[in-house]
Homo-oligomer: A and B are copies of this chain.
Amino acid sequence: MEDEFVLMKGNEAIAEAAIRAGVDGYFGYPITPQSEVMEYLTTAKPWERTGMVVLQAESEVAAINMLYGGAGSGKKVMTSSSSPGISLMQEGISYIAGAELPTVIVNVVRGGPGLGTIQPSQSDYFQATKGGGHGDYHLIVLAPASVQEMADFMELAFDLAFKYRNPTMILSDGAIGQMMEKVKFKPQKKRMTEFPDWATTGKTQDRERNIITSLDLDPYRQEKFNEKLQKKYEDIRQKEVRYEEISCDDAEYLFIAYGTSARICQKSVQLARAEGIKAGLLRPVTLFPFPEKTILSYADKVKGMLSVEMSAGQMVEDIRLSVNGKVPVAHYGRMGGVIPNPQEVVEALKQKIIGG
């Protein structure tokens, strides 16, 4: 598959890319619209190809704690789920962040709240970027906008997770998970044979025992640990911001959108320009760290920004925080599984920003 394009669902691309990235273990529980990840894996039998472990857990709670165990013992482990399942994982995710374990969690978002719908949505942005679990922590959050990126971000997610000893989330949605596009894969990587020195791999005589924990009952030590975490997040903010700029050079108006919404806005840019409106699209690829400096740098150049999200307006807060009042920022969104269409996005720009 290396050299040629294949047609695949986003969910399947995640699975194939995971195998090729040399992932050691996948632990998950079925939920629409991402069940194809595990289905692909169980069909591909990577345990024969690379020795990768694939296990259907009894629940998302079990799955996320399997990740904790697996990552704590130094292995590359991942899970995937969709919104309600991800909510169930919040305690586990907070533990993983607190124990600084490199794991990859894929959320193929569907409409909420509650059981909601199974259609695509982006209403888990806050949960992903601000921390849906308790305590001050952050996930690194990557937002793919195509099947190709679903594949590409798998290795990137693990690289970042291990580089920073931090959980990484791939925040996708039902549309990207379910749709097929052509995709090209990287060659098979070997699974790790060297393990991090902090991992519980068995205490050999040449070292102290390793301990994986998120506990420190002494508040002053706990504060020290929190400061260390915050420093790490600051580091990530400095070094790992990723985004894409489309027709931004001469733009007077900026759409800011990620994932599926960015796909739509790309078309909206064309439609707007066809009408003589100089629109551009800034697509955050990392949602944490958020490209706040870049967005701020556009505050002087454009007349307004429109955050387009499949939600009631979540990322728009980060945009406002980035520009701190320097330029008008509005939000346009659809909810509950509805995907906006490119033309209505242009109309929204006219109403909320150009006219407003």
- Taking beta carbons and an 8 Å cutoff, which residues of A are in contact with B? 61, 83-88, 90-91, 94-99, 109, 111-119, 121, 123-124, 126-127, 130-137, 213-227, 229-230, 311-312, 314, 317, 320-321, 323-326, 334-338
Contact = CB atoms under 8 A, between A and B. Distances in A.
A311 to B, nearest CB: 5
A219 B337 contact: yes
Given A113-B229, A116-B135, 12 more contacts: A84-B94, A85-B91, A87-B134, A90-B127, A98-B113, A113-B214, A117-B222, A119-B217, A127-B131, A130-B314, A220-B338, A221-B336
A170 to B, nearest CB: 15
B91 A84 contact: yes
A230 B313 CA distance: 10
A230 B127 contact: no
Contact of A217 (B91, B118, B225): B118
Given A312-B230, A325-B325, A113 B87 contact: no
Q: How many copies of this chain are found per oligomer?
A: 2
A254 to B, nearest CB: 18
Contact of A98 (B114, B135, B220): B114
A288 to B, nearest CB: 12
Contacts of A88: 61, 88, 90-91
Contact of A112 (B84, B136, B324, B334): B136
Nearest to A217: B117
A324 B323 CA distance: 9
